[in-house]
Structure 1
Amino acid sequence: MSYLSNLPINQVTLASIYPTIFEIVSTQEVDDLLPSSIRYLLTNYWISRYPSRLSIGINNYFEEWFNLIIKGLVEYYHIKYYNTTFVDKFYGLQRFNSKSNPLLNAHTAAINNVESTSAWAQKWPLGLQLTKKQRLVVFLQKIIFPYLKNKLDQLYIKLIARNSFGSSLPRNGDTSQNIINNLKKRLFKIFQLIYPILTKIFNSVDILLKLSYLTKRTGYFSLLDYLFSIEYTRLQFPLEKEIDSYTLNFDKSHKLKNRMENQNYYSALDYWNSKLSGLLGITSFIGSQIFPSFIFLLRVYQWWTTENISVKIEKRIKGFDKDIPNPSRVSVSIKDEGEKRRDRSKCPVCQDTIRNPCILETGCVMCYPCAIKYIPEHEGKCPVTDRKLLGCIFDKQSSEWKIVSGIRRLMI
């Protein structure tokens, strides 16, 4: 399923160029897995072992320096030069402008023409490439909006916790400060009421679009894709540049003979561009080999750590009560040392069959009325072990012992 888009297709049709919903979901899962995995590795092997102000700051601002800066630069590069994101390019997916359906039909027909040597059929035409506005939308959808959504979710959780514990904003004597605090309270209340409603509406619309995509009624996978006419495709071709449309029939053999090439500015620029493009191709090839290896090793590491944690938990559960000694089966009364054994079915106070039983902190069982009467009269001590109960305290005002806790009723 993960590499379905990279499989060869004999006949390119309008139905075959669209990826399945499982391919797009797979790319999104991998895209969400990468930041979490990198943060886990940093926290587990660096920050937790060598805590410092620098490491803790890196952990606290991980979303800013990684998700916004590093990931933003990588996605900006791929969106600009490939019309796709980093993970989508790895999965063989690309985005295109779906406003021109006749141009899409013509390009699909040109691809199927095996005998055609037109360079137009071997490149993604300008009319189907993403516009600047569409590229900006894709960048916002992949980088900015997830970051803002995460921050709003954290703010909403804080407000819910604050209201649950009854805390509020501090009040100062300054009137202007009180006005600002009251305004913040009202804004927070409005946000707390509106935010979950908007989230439910957006999720409902998003689910409907995904169901429509699943049933092939539409080619838009999200709400922003629908609003700005952005669709996915399996066809990955180099992007046609504006200068290519004017220089397809240009004969490169016509050059000025009376000028030295080494001193020509444009010739030198073209030379270094060719070198850099080759370097970028090598870097892209190395990245395409390292990235799947990293994902595979990450999966293996996740399985290994999960297995070790489960084994450790199982060992701890098995040896949890290994060092705890067994309780003594013989209850010895300190008051009556000659009595080595006592009938446990009788109350130690009234010496009758236990009725309405209760248990003390010491583990002794007796009648509840006898315990309530006996313990305060004997300075909060157990009638069997003669030990003072922690749940029985002396009240200085009434000069009496009172039972606060330490007695549990038994249901038999």
Structure 2
Amino acid sequence: MEDVLITGLGIVSPIGIGREAVRSAIESRTSGITTIDDYAKAGWLAPYGGRVTDFEPKEYVKPRKSMKVMAHEIQMAFAAAEMAVSDAGLEEGSIDPERSGVVLGAGSMYCDLEELVDAYRSCSTEQGFDFNKWGDAAKRELFPLWMLKYLPNMPACHIGIRHDARGPTNTISHGEISSLLALAEAMQVIRRGQADVMFVGGTSTRLSITDLVWHGGARMAHGDLSPAEACRPFDAKRQGMVMGEGAAVMVLESRTHAERRGQQPLARVLSVATRSCQTAKRFDPPVPAIENALSVALERAEIAPSELAHINAHGLGTLEDDPAEAQAIAKVLDGADVPVTSPKSYFGNLGAGCGAMELVVSLLAANEGAVPPTLNHEQTDPACPVRVAAETEATTRKAFAALNHTNTGQAVAAILACD
């Protein structure tokens, strides 16, 4: 079976734009979680998050007129893909269009409320909102291509058009497991011989006020907290999760294709496993699914738990989720000394893009023979029976695991090796 390699990566994140900026931030333990002034002024209960700053999409988007139909999430994904192509050393026109494709994780995209103001005003009367006027008002007041800005499949579409990728293309919208599901699909496309090159990753933001209000601040850290210290996965003082945004895209290639052009890989994708389960209560962590996904991924990769350099955990930082995930991991490790880390401590929970962003953090560290540290970890909660990497650790082990799960019963585990 053909080896599947990662040969390039690009990232747009709250801790930096591009691999070197992100690597430096992890090395210096710099948090990307800051106060969001507008939310603080509005009195929102959790006025902080991992927001992308110093990002200029015009530097990456080609042609620039495409930006008119690109939401923030699309711009971030497009930029990450441009960086990934450069990082992989792919020259324009060097890929067979019929043998390349795109699979991205993406979620719901919410527009700025200002875009809807005129349409809403046109429907407002002294008696309240007149729904009968909405159809005409929306057509008259909204940008004609408004919907194209916010469809979850558009990041993959724009990347495919830009790089003339005419092969298998898909978008997966399944919450926090979207990116690793995208990795699984892209890996199988190459292994089946349907493509030589695949662009894979995820993009999302959980910082839209519409999204935040809709979720009602459930399980979020809030109160008088230092933003940079608010996200504390597996720590005894954790209060809840913090939201963030970003995008990461990787270039996957068959070994044959990469070797033909002399490109050194960043990692091999050994396996991906997905599992689901029924939980006792709605929104409970899917403990059996986490256990089974990690166990099956290890079995498929022919890797023993003790051979892992680290486990990149979902590490949400909530009171309910962390102990359940830690106990599931501990059961699979069965006493093996494997450090656990959570990159969410740097930039928060991105939603659909979190798996790709977190995977990039592990890739950057693993290629330097290191385990990326978890920020803000001072004392492990006794209910979390794992050894959390609170500091950078050197390692000679080559393989690592990445985990993500949802609060509706699904989990994904991926095993990669940087050898």
TM-score grouping bracket, smaller chain normalisation: under 0.3
**Which structure has greater strand proportion?**
2
TM-score, length-normalised on structure 1?
Answer: 0.18
Higher radius of gyration, 1 or 2: 1
Between 1 and 2, higher relative CO (CA 8 Å, sep ≥ 6) is seen in 2
TM-score, length-normalised on structure 2?
Answer: 0.18
**Which structure has greater helix proportion?**
1
